[in-house]
Amino acid sequence: MTLLSDQDLQALGLTLRLATTVTALLLLLGTPLAWWLAHTHSRWRRPVAAVVALPLVLPPTVLGFYLLMLLGPDGAVGRLIAALGLSALPFTFKGLMVASMLYSLPFVVQPLNNAFEAIGNRPMEVASCLGAGPLDRFLTVALPLALPGILTATVLGFAHTVGEFGVVLMIGGNIPGQTRVLSMRIYDHVQAGEYHQANVLSLCLLVVSFTALLAMSLLRTRRYPRD
Amino acid sequence: MTEALHGLDARLSWRRGDLALDIDIALPPRGITALFGPSGAGKTSCLRAIAGLERAEGRVSFGHQMWQDSASRVFVPPHRRKLGYVFQEASLFSHHTVEGNLDYGYRRAGRPAHLDREGLIDRFGVRPLLKRRVSGLSGGERQRVSMARALLSDPALLLFDEPLSALDGTARSDLLGCLEDLHATLQVPMIYVSHNVDEVSRLADHLVLMEAGHVVAQGPLQATLTRLDLPPALGEAVGAVIEGEVVGYDAHDQLIGLAFAGGHLWLPYRHEVVGQTLRCRIGARDVVLTHAPQEGSSALNQIPCRIVAMADADHPSQCLVQLDAGGCTLLARITRRSWHALGLEPGGEVWAQVKAVALGP
């Protein structure tokens, strides 16, 4: 293997593992959250929506810094975790996962929320009048109709997790096999003047991103042919 | 009256925007009830509240089931009410084919053996569409699928919300014919929301008149539409609906003869066949009163009647005259001047002149 060193491959594998886990977890947690945002009349809707959207405008380093403070041995969450007898999160894969989930949250929740809002209440009312209970109509009507939004959420969540740097720098560090993801590796290469290696890795990211977007677009047209 | 106990009984009050709704409806357990009234009267809201799609305070019972009782916090969600709801826009599931749409409720009802799935598909003429995606369907086709879908869910109560209002001429009259056929074989009650008096006259057995969120009158169709105390907003709707049998067809003049309890009427031929029952609406504005049968009049129909009562119409120059023709109630809107000039009074005998043209499409 001349193009990618073992360390590069390790970083690539780690990145894909991180992005897959984070995206899967975000879809699982983000779907109910997006559904709630799309349907609630609660006065908490706007504050919650703003918090979800925060990572869109917040510099990743700021987010990473506060997470470091919060999760660190002196932080509120860090103490709680220690009190529960769990290992500390900063500079671990799990910590990176938590941070990435927060960072990528809006990229998953917002497309889902838009999709659910676009569906509106009517299809759910129809399903209800046809004898479908709440879970039944969510699974058989809301989710299938929201599929384009779910695809967008998946691709955006995945891509943003793959590409993050600032948050990783703050909370993950640069531990091989633990937190040294692709973007860190590229940065290392550039710092060391290894432009060729940096280029190969960057190209990998470019290809992955392009393929994901193309696949999404193709899937959508196959499922929803234009009339 | 024991039968009526098993129909729908709804006493609800709620607000929707600026409109305060307060309804008290008791419906018979069979036949079609039209919920009729001007736009903005709250008809759709009313239907949604009965279905449980819109929250209102009060009680709703259907047959022996209590669907809602705010006092004892009973609320049966719509999916447990066995409804067949047809929305104004067909609202088909775009992620299913036509067949997928039809089977959505049918499967959930457990594919009941007493439902004739194939028969319903043919009756609504959707068999050629089964494999199609819904995005390519016309408005009329969509509404057919929507109605068949509702009927296939094995409903105990059908709720139709202006299903024809978004359709154009041909599609509308085709589907109206379809609904007339359905009416004859319908096993479950239906509430049919409409602001179109022709649809109502052709389909309904029972009528609930709504205005500004309130029920202003309810009862059997014929009796209710010929009441003299209906609010002015329903002015155009008042008139008789008579039911009779087609007894003759004059192919040369393209007229059909209709025999009803009060006599005989000529009306323009559409596609009726001799022997069938037919409903015909005689608008109050289309009736002229005379003392004696006329010769040399272009009005083809002359019906002997007895004056039952007279009441003020919405315009001070006019009055409404309620007439009895062999047990059928007719209504005539005439000027006060004519009322006095002819010396009419309750109990008097008159002839109602009706142009056949006014009875046509």
Say if residue A227's pLDDT is above 50. Answer: no
State the Cα–Cα distance between residues B263 and A159, nearest whole angstrom.
80
The confidence score (pLDDT) of residue A85 equals 84
Is residue A116 within 8 A of residue A146, CB to CB? The reply is: yes
User: What end-to-end distance do the CA atoms of chain A give, in Å?
Assistant: 48
Chain centroid offset of residue B358 CA: 20
Taking CB atoms and an 8 Å cutoff, what residues of chain B touch A137?
79
State the Cα–Cα distance between residues B204 and B193, nearest whole angstrom.
10
Taking CB atoms and an 8 Å cutoff, what residues of chain B touch A141?
93, 95
DSSP secondary structure letter of residue A185 = H
The partner residue sitting opposite A129, judged by closest CB among B51, B94, B135, is B51
Residues 6+ apart with CB under 8 A from A219: A151
B79: closest chain A residue by CA: A131
Q: How many CB atoms lie within 10 A of CB B83?
A: 25
The confidence score (pLDDT) of residue A223 equals 59
Domains and CATH numbers, chain A: 6-223 (1.10.3720.10)
State the Cα–Cα distance between residues A88 and A66, nearest whole angstrom.
15
| Rg of chain A taking only CA atoms, in angstroms | 20
What order of strands is seen across the sheet that includes strand B74-75?
Answer: B74-75, B65-69, B57-62, B8-16, B19-26, B214-220, B206-211, B32-36, B190-194, B157-161, B83-86
Does an H or E element contain B152, and which?
A: helix B139-152
- Domains of chain B, residue spans: 3-234, 239-359
Measured at the CA of B281, the angle between CA B280 and CA B285, to 5 degrees, comes to 145
- Does A220 reach chain B within 8 Å, measured CB to CB? no
Tell me the CATH number of domain B239-359, given options 2.40.50.100, 3.30.470.10, 1.10.1240.10, 2.30.30.100. Answer: 2.40.50.100
Measured at the CA of B229, the angle between CA B225 and CA B234, to 5 degrees, comes to 55
Question: Which of the residues A129, A141, A221 would you substitute to probe the B interface, choosing the one with the greatest number of B C-beta atoms within 10 Å?
Answer: A129
How far is the CA of B161 from the CAs of B35, B47, B94, B135, in angstroms?
9, 7, 20, 22
A122: closest chain B residue by CA: B91
Going by CATH, does the domain composed of B3-234 fall within 3.40.50.170? no
How far is the CA of B117 from the CAs of B20, B113, B124, B129, B182, in angstroms?
41, 9, 11, 15, 14
Taking an 8 Å cut-off on Cβ atoms, the answer to whether A123 and B135 are in contact is no
Is residue B69 within 8 A of residue B56, CB to CB? The reply is: no
Pick left, alpha or beta for residue A19 (phi over 0 → left; psi -120 to 50 → alpha; otherwise beta). alpha
- Does A122 reach chain B within 8 Å, measured CB to CB? yes
Taking CB atoms and an 8 Å cutoff, what residues of chain B touch A132?
79, 104, 108
Taking an 8 Å cut-off on Cβ atoms, the answer to whether B79 and A128 are in contact is yes
Residue for token pair 């997790």: A161
- Does B104 reach chain A within 8 Å, measured CB to CB? yes
- Does B149 reach chain A within 8 Å, measured CB to CB? yes
Taking CB atoms and an 8 Å cutoff, what residues of chain B touch A123?
91, 93
SS3 per residue for A12-49? HHHHHHHHHHHHHHHHHHHHHHHHHHHHCCCCCHHHHH
Q: What is the pTM of this model?
A: 0.85
The confidence score (pLDDT) of residue B207 equals 92
The partner residue sitting opposite A128, judged by closest CB among B78, B94, B150, is B78
Is residue B191 within 8 A of residue B159, CB to CB? The reply is: yes
Helix, strand or coil for residue B226?
Answer: coil
Nearest to B90, CA basis, from B38, B35, B165: B165
Contact map slice: B 60-79 vs A, CB within 8 A: 77-79
The average pLDDT across A168-188 equals 87
The partner residue sitting opposite A227, judged by closest CB among B77, B93, B135, is B135
Taking CB atoms and an 8 Å cutoff, what residues of chain A touch B77?
128, 133
Average pLDDT, rounded, for chain A: 89
State the Cα–Cα distance between residues A183 and B244, nearest whole angstrom.
84
Judged by average pLDDT, the poorest of A98-107, A112-121, A209-218, B324-333 is A209-218
The average pLDDT across A106-116 equals 95
Chain centroid offset of residue B141 CA: 22
Taking CB atoms and an 8 Å cutoff, what residues of chain A touch B83?
129
Residue for token pair 């008149």: B209
Taking an 8 Å cut-off on Cβ atoms, the answer to whether A141 and B85 are in contact is no
Does an H or E element contain B12, and which?
A: strand B8-16
- Going residue by residue through chain B, which has 361 residues, state the pLDDT in tens, using 9 for 90 and above: 344 456 899 999 999 888 899 999 998 888 999 999 888 889 999 999 999 999 999 999 999 899 999 999 999 999 999 999 999 988 999 999 999 999 999 999 999 999 999 999 999 999 999 999 999 899 999 999 999 999 999 999 999 999 998 888 888 888 998 898 888 888 899 999 998 888 898 899 999 999 889 998 899 998 888 888 887 767 677 888 988 999 999 999 999 999 999 899 999 998 888 998 888 899 899 999 999 998 888 999 999 999 999 998 888 999 999 999 998 999 999 999 999 999 999 999 999 999 999 887 6
Environment class of residue B269 by beta-carbon count within 10 Å: exposed (0-12), middle (13-18) or buried (19+)? middle
- Does B110 reach chain A within 8 Å, measured CB to CB? no
Instruction: Give B3→chain A minimum CA distance, Å.
Output: 26
Is residue B339 within 8 A of residue B321, CB to CB? The reply is: yes
Note the pLDDT tens digit of each residue in A157-176: 998 898 888 888 888 888 88
Say if residue A2's pLDDT is above 70. Answer: no
The partner residue sitting opposite A144, judged by closest CB among B85, B95, B149, is B95
Instruction: Give B242→chain A minimum CA distance, Å.
Output: 35
Q: Helix A93-119 crosses helix A147-163 at what angle (to 10 degrees)?
A: 150
Q: Binning pLDDT at 50, 70 and 90, where does residue A72 land?
A: confident
- Does B262 reach chain A within 8 Å, measured CB to CB? no
Q: How many CB atoms lie within 10 A of CB A164?
A: 28
Instruction: Give B353→chain A minimum CA distance, Å.
Output: 48
Question: Which of the residues B53, B75, B147 would you substitute to probe the A interface, choosing the one with the greatest number of A C-beta atoms within 10 Å?
Answer: B53
